[in-house]
Amino acid sequence: MKVKIGFGEGGLKGFVLQHSEKAVFGAVLLLVVVFVYSSATQEGISMNETPEKLKSEATLARTHVTQDHWEALAPEREDLLDDFPARAEQIRTPLNDDPYAPDLPLTLPVLPGQQRRADPEIFAPLDVEVQGMVAAVAWRVAPDYEDPWADSEEAIVEPEEAPKPKPKTRDRRRRTDEYDMYDEEMYSDYDAMDRGPSPATTRTRGRVRTVSNDFLQQHIKGFRATGGAGGAMAPVSRGIVAVTALVPYEEQWAAYQQALANAQGYSPNQDVPNYLYFVAERAEVTDDPDAPLEWRTISNTAFATRQAQRYGGTPREVAEEAYLLPGTLTMPIPPILVQSFDHLALHSQIPRFQPRTQRTRRPETLLDDEEVDPADFDLAAGLPEMPKRRPGAASTYARDDYDDYGDYHDDYYDDGMGTGPGDRSGAGPRRVRLTQYKMVRFFDLNAQPGRSYRYRVSLILEDPNRPEDPRNDPNRQILDREVVERLDAIEAEDPTRTAQRRTAGQSPQRPRRIFFRQTEWSEPSDVITLETAEDFLAGSVTPPRFVPLLTRPGERGPEIQLGEDSGKLVSVVWDNRRAVEVPAEREVRRGAYLHFEEDADVLHPRALQIRRLPEFPFRTDSFVADLRGGATLMTDVHPVTEEETTHRVPGEFLIVDRDGNLLVRNEVETAEEYRRLMFIEDEGRRRRTTTGYTGDYYDDGMGYDDYDDYGGYDDFYDDGGHGDFFNY
């Protein structure tokens, strides 16, 4: 049964037209009821909220917004800096592009090559630079080593001399105001010439002379090896010549790609530049400009690696790791004590290392005392064997695993055995760092002071067409004709070399496989003459006293000079036996002969303690020809204490050395060395840490809280046990 709904006359349309107004009216009436109910239930204004109270709260809020709160926020938001030179150097350091380095060259072939394999062109090192110095090197010594410091004494602080009484004041009643002013200034300025040592360098009688940690942080820039004077390491005097050169690494990669990328049998993992070795020669330069240079091999990778095993510690690396090939072309830095070694470790085209997390490595055990003669290097007999390390021994280099400093795995850098980018041990292509240059660096530690040298370097790369592993030899059928002829000549030499060994009385042995190619020699370096550490440091000069003669009251008579100019001059000589700079400060005048014996206080290069060398001979054979300075420039008056500080003209000395050379030494230019050798410390030097002025002075609030990042050294090398870099 269907139910029918009727809408009356007109149907649904008529029904809507008749009742729509009623529906709208009902909806409006419902909204009015809802609005009235909601307003009736809304919370109203409390009777306690008076207009005066609301106005007071509004005024308080406005005052809180407009009030200056910077004094309370400044300690949290203001970065306090006081070591602006270090901060400026950090800002000027180029950004590190290591995270953006490609894993492989961008010129990989798309299709297999069809041409024959040729020999890629190999490039010699460029721009050889040399720098030298005589310094103390931390050296591993035998247990029966005789300590040369046994005859030294503790440096005892001498008592401060009492100042001499000033001359009696004359009767000034007969003088004019102008004359009184002149006489006062004259006597007050020149009465201080005999006051004795500076209070900053003298202390109580009988006290052992020491230096503070601030002094060591500020002045001692070399490798820090604390822990006393004995043990398995001792400072040894060495004449050092640092030789650095550039390897055109990017250009060498391009040459390999051009010769092999489109050839048959190309392997991205094998056909890359693989540097194995460096060879260095030295020629002594004589006074005869027409004399030919006699080149002699003085270093190579094997010799430098074994030499590094005798280092008494591992200094931090100075150069950026992306430009190094540690253990192959870039040799570790010698542990130079006291003096800065940064200038020796860097080439002018290689950027400095940017501070990141650092760690230390303990030096490996020296297996034997066998010396390696670099002159025995014979390329025809193959590469010399590299020194072997103990199983599981760490490398001798402070940062040989780049994984600690970036995103690269541990085996990126080679281990001193010639493996590196392009090594065939992996199944796939190894990550490479395509930089424009790599740095060759080695140190000639047998240079003689007073002699002049020139250096040149050659590099050895693995032969991609005859690699070390015979299983990787390419098929002869895909080699270029010139390559085949070269390899035939190499293989034909093997019996000849065996016969030569038998003729020389040596046991015939199987010749080593020739799997490498040698570059041409680099252009010779500039001439370097290794200077001795003998020097002179200028101090202040005291001018003579001028006294006017009295004529008639109110008139200034002619002046007469009492005495002559005198000044403080420090003579510095090098003690080769103890490997230390020995200074002596003397009051000198014109014609003073700088040839004497005197008790000298020196800083032990390892223990960093002041020791006294009694009656040390200063045999400089030099004398003071002239000196000047000391005149009053201006006088500052402190605005609060009214204390007067007199500024004088810096002292300047003219010295004639033993060879007749004229040496000019200025007080301003030698001020830092003067303070270092005389152990003069800054007064009121502030120290702070990241949390305030209570810790390390050199913290810049950015995480570099140790001065080590900028050339100084702190407790970075302390192993927490013996206070030294390694155990004894």
The predicted model gives 656-669 an average pLDDT of: 93
The predicted model gives 644-652 an average pLDDT of: 90
Both structure tokens of 610: 């002041």
In this structure, the answer to whether residues 538 and 634 fall within a common structural domain is yes
Q: Using one digit for the tens of pLDDT, what is the confidence trace for 54-75?
A: 888 888 888 888 888 888 877 7
In this structure, the answer to whether residues 563 and 611 fall within a common structural domain is yes
Q: How far apart are the first and last CA of the chain?
A: 113
In a domain? residue 487: no
In this structure, the answer to whether residues 580 and 665 fall within a common structural domain is yes
From 656, 680, 704, the end of a domain falls on 680
In a domain? residue 427: no
In this prediction, residue 693 carries a pLDDT of 35
Residues of the domain holding 5: 1-35
Tell me if residue 598 falls in helix, strand or coil: strand
- Tell me the whole-structure pTM to 2 decimals: 0.66
Q: Which amino acid is at 349?
A: Q
In this structure, the answer to whether residues 581 and 692 fall within a common structural domain is no
In a domain? residue 361: no
- Max mean pLDDT among 163-172, 399-408, 440-449 falls in 440-449
For residue 2, the cross-strand partners are none
**Dist CA 446 CA 282 (whole Å):** 11
Which of 633-642's residues contact partners 24+ apart within 8 Å by CB, and which partners? none
CA atoms within 13 A on the CB side of 642: 0
- Say what percent of the chain tops pLDDT 90: 34
Q: Is the pLDDT of residue 308 over 80?
A: yes
In a domain? residue 22: yes
Query: How does DSSP assign 440-486, residue by residue?
Result: EEEEETTPPTT-EEEEEEEEEEE-TTS-SSGGGPPPGGGB-HHHHHH
In a domain? residue 246: no
pLDDT, greater one: 110 or 221 = 221
What is the tally of structural domains in the chain? 3
In this structure, the answer to whether residues 82 and 187 fall within a common structural domain is no
In this structure, the answer to whether residues 665 and 697 fall within a common structural domain is no
In this prediction, residue 112 carries a pLDDT of 58
- Max mean pLDDT among 54-68, 315-329, 355-369 falls in 315-329
In a domain? residue 574: yes
In this prediction, residue 363 carries a pLDDT of 42
**Dist CA 542 CA 196 (whole Å):** 13
For residues 75-107, one letter each, b for 16 or more C-beta atoms within 10 angstroms of the residue's C-beta and e for the rest, the string is: eeeeeeeebeebbeebeeeeebebeeeeeebee
In a domain? residue 318: no
In this prediction, residue 463 carries a pLDDT of 93
In this structure, the answer to whether residues 644 and 693 fall within a common structural domain is no
In this prediction, residue 554 carries a pLDDT of 72
In this structure, the answer to whether residues 176 and 86 fall within a common structural domain is no
From 641, 661, 680, the end of a domain falls on 680
In this structure, the answer to whether residues 583 and 700 fall within a common structural domain is no
In this structure, the answer to whether residues 576 and 616 fall within a common structural domain is yes
In this prediction, residue 106 carries a pLDDT of 61
Tell me if residue 334 falls in helix, strand or coil: coil
The predicted model gives 471-485 an average pLDDT of: 90
The predicted model gives 512-534 an average pLDDT of: 90
**Dist CA 704 CA 679 (whole Å):** 27
In this structure, the answer to whether residues 608 and 708 fall within a common structural domain is no
In a domain? residue 187: yes
Q: Which residues contact 408 (CB under 8 A, 6 or more apart)?
A: 98, 402, 431, 433
In this structure, the answer to whether residues 596 and 698 fall within a common structural domain is no
pLDDT, greater one: 495 or 535 = 535
